[in-house]
Amino acid sequence: MRSGLGFSALLLFSLALIPGPAWPQMRAPARVPSSVGAPAVLGSVPVLQQGSFSGLKAVDPLQAAPGVSVPGIAALPAVETYDALLKRQEEGEVLDLSGVTRPGIAYVRDGRFFVGQGSGRYEALSAGEWMDLFVPEDSALPEGAVVTGRGITGEVVLKANLLSSRGVVGSKPDLLGLMTEGMTFTRVLAPRELVEAPFSRAGHEVRKMRSFLEDQAAGWGEGYGNKLRDYLEGPDFQKLSLNGRMEALSRLRSAAAKGPSAVASLLIPSAPADSVPEWPGKPGDTVRINGRSYVLGEKLGEGTGAWVYRVQGRPLVVKLVYPGFAEVPVFGSEVAALEEMAGTRIPHARMRDHSQDGLVIVKDFVSGERIFDIAERGELGPEHVSALVDLAAELLTLERTADLNLGNLLWDARSRSWILIDSGGFAKGPAWGVLGQLLSRTRMTASRLDPQAFLKSLAAKLGEDSAAWKRVVETPRSPDHQELVRSFLKDRGRP
């Protein structure tokens, strides 16, 4: 394997202002054992367990550190997938690469990631978001990054980054060859706050426009200058992506031609206005809420009340609720449900953004297997049932119900849990509002659950003296559910 001098020399030449040796040595303390579903730790850098996302398109969020939530990641496609896409690109096709995993390439120096390839992806990141990156394997990773893969060949990194949304014209085979040939890489998730993109066109434009406005403001008097400075250094501007900052500064520059009062009037609405396409939207539409933009990619689901799209180039989905259903609780109350659910132990697709009216919801993209697909293969095992018992027990303890349609539960092999992907039905409800869904005749046939074994495990989980279990045995309404409870109690020697 090559030492990486080609890559480091190339980036050091481009990043001439960064002093110091090219390749600081990697910290290498032993991996700390971790519990199932949690990241292991390499020094102060969390590491996802090996194989945790094998065969999955994405995984549920994990905790990088107390109170720090990391988005799910998409697994790398097979090399053959990249080859097929590259062949189409070389034949002149401009590809829709939404949903295609393409981590950028970066170099680590003095606790920061410097992007050498993938600046466009960095430009779309808002504050609090993460960038998926490849770094040379011996890089000294800063605290705050999360390792998601090791031993990735230069060939895979090269092919992932030869793909360009601009087609062949956006591909840089010679440069990328120098950066990847003979090398091995580590894949990491890095928070935006630790990433810089020195080759970013948007970054260059932002610096240029900001300098222009600050020079202009110097002649406007202290009051106007302070307003501009407060905005540029304030949280509303800082949380914007580079693309968002470029849009905001462009408007301010246009206003500057009319005088300082025109600039001051723009500083009141400090972020771009919300913009939502006409329902139900379509791939390629841009949704803008709270100063952040999301480009709709592949349609993942549709119904009478809502359509769901993958966000292009990011592990997120956008749910567009039909405006006429704003007063329907299962649709109009999902934001409130997600906010409440975030404080529970219920595994679910976490909300990352939402419109003020609750009709646009941005959540983590989660992928996995449905319960009946696993059952159909005869692979529904004790851990699957145990995780379903855990989910039911949490809901019963909270006196809440949820939409437990079997298509709404996906098995996450990393956390060994069932993930609730739609939370609109989360609300206060009776015990059999939960169990009636899981143990209905139709769903037991599809999932092949043994209802008596399920109730036995649930009783052990809750404790037969608990208030939650008493509600289970005392409140079944339908004859089928009453018979299930009678049979269970009879087997336990109780009347």
Residue 299 sits in the same domain as residue 212: no
Q: What is the pLDDT averaged over residues 351-370? A: 90
Please tell me whether residues 359 and 388 are part of one structural domain: no
281 pLDDT higher than 50? yes
Does residue 470 sit in the same domain as residue 333?
no
- Which of 144, 174, 199 is the last residue in one of the domains? 199
Tell me: pLDDT of 36 over 90: no
Q: For 103-153, how does the pLDDT look when each residue is reduced to its tens digit (9 = 90+)?
A: 999 999 999 999 999 888 899 888 888 999 999 998 999 988 999 899 999
* Choice among 17-21, 87-91, 325-329 with the minimum mean pLDDT: 17-21
Asked whether residue 404 carries a pLDDT value surpassing 90, the answer given is no
> Is 274 contained in some domain?
no
CA distance 485 to 131: 51
Q: Number of structural domains, the chain?
A: 4
> 284: left (phi > 0), else alpha (psi -120 to 50), else beta?
left
Q: What is the CATH number of the domain that holds 325?
A: 3.30.200.20
Beta bridge partners of 306: 321
Are both 333 and 414 inside the same structural domain?
Answer: no
pLDDT tier for residue 230 given thresholds of 50, 70 and 90: confident
Specify if 273 maps to a domain: no
pLDDT tens across 165-213, in order? 776 766 778 888 888 999 999 999 999 999 999 989 889 999 999 999 9
166 and 52 belong to one structural domain: yes
Q: What is the rounded distance in angstroms from the CA atom of residue 46 to the CA atom of residue 65?
A: 8
Q: Looking at the structure, do residues 293 and 153 belong to the same domain, yes or no?
A: no
CA torsion, ordered 74, 77, 83, 87, to nearest 10 deg: -40
Task: Tell me the C-alpha distance between 402 and 396, whole Å.
Answer: 10
Q: Indicate if the pLDDT at residue 383 is higher than 70.
A: yes
Residue at a domain's end among 364, 381, 397: 364
Are both 65 and 86 inside the same structural domain? yes
Residue 371 neighbours by CB under 8 Å, 6+ apart: 380, 384, 388, 406, 409, 411, 418, 446, 447
For residue 435, count CB atoms less than 10 angstroms from its CB and return exposed for 0-12, middle for 13-18, buried for 19 or more: buried
Whichever domain contains 421, its CATH number is 1.10.510
Asked whether residue 215 is domain-assigned, the answer is: yes
Of the ranges 11-25, 127-141, 352-366, 438-452, which one carries the lowest mean pLDDT score?
11-25
Alpha helices (H) in 353-450, listed in sequence order: 371-376, 382-398, 431-438, 441-447
Region at 182 (left for phi over 0; alpha for psi -120 to 50; beta for the rest): left
Please tell me the total number of residues recorded for the chain in this structure.
495
- Give the per-residue pLDDT at 170: 67
Q: Are residues 19 and 167 in the same domain?
A: yes
Same domain, yes or no: 234 and 292: no
Report the mean per-residue pLDDT for the chain.
Answer: 80
Q: Which of 71-75, 277-281, 375-379 has the highest mean pLDDT?
A: 277-281
The residue-averaged pLDDT of 483-492 equals 85
Least confident of 91-95, 315-319, 380-384: 91-95
Does residue 91 sit within a domain? yes
Answer yes or no: are the C-beta atoms of 356 and 431 closer than 8 Å. Answer: no
Range of the domain at 226: 202-266
Find out whether 60 and 144 touch, Cβ atoms under 8 Å: no
Q: What is the CA radius of gyration of the chain?
A: 26
Which tokens in the block code for residue 128? 């609090």
- Is residue 131, in this structure, part of any structural domain at all? yes
Final residue before a domain boundary, out of 175, 199, 223: 199
Q: Which of 173-177, 394-398, 466-470 has the lowest mean pLDDT?
A: 173-177
Residues 47 and 177 in one domain: yes
Note the pLDDT of residue 35: 27
Tell me the DSSP string of 310-327.
EETTSSEEEEEE-GGGTT
Residue 55 confidence (pLDDT) = 30
Residues 307 and 444 both lie in one domain? no
Q: What does the pLDDT read at residue 432?
A: 92
Cα(179)–Cα(116) distance, rounded to whole angstroms?
9
Q: How confident is the model at residue 156 (pLDDT cuts 50, 70, 90)?
A: very high
> What global pTM score does this model have?
0.47
Considering the domain boundaries, does residue 177 fall inside one? yes
**Average pLDDT estimate for 446-455:** 86
Q: Are 16 and 114 in contact (CB under 8 A)?
A: no
Phi-psi region for residue 399, left (φ > 0), alpha (ψ -120 to 50) or beta? left
Handedness of CA 431, 434, 438, 442 (dihedral sign): positive
Determine how β-strand 316-321 pairs with β-strand 360-364.
antiparallel
CA 139 – CA 135 distance, rounded (Å): 7
What pLDDT is recorded for position 493? 65
Does residue 391 sit within a domain? Answer: yes
Q: Are residues 155 and 262 in the same domain?
A: no
Alpha-carbon distance of 117 to 393, in angstroms, equals 47
For residue 279, being part of any structural domain is answered with no
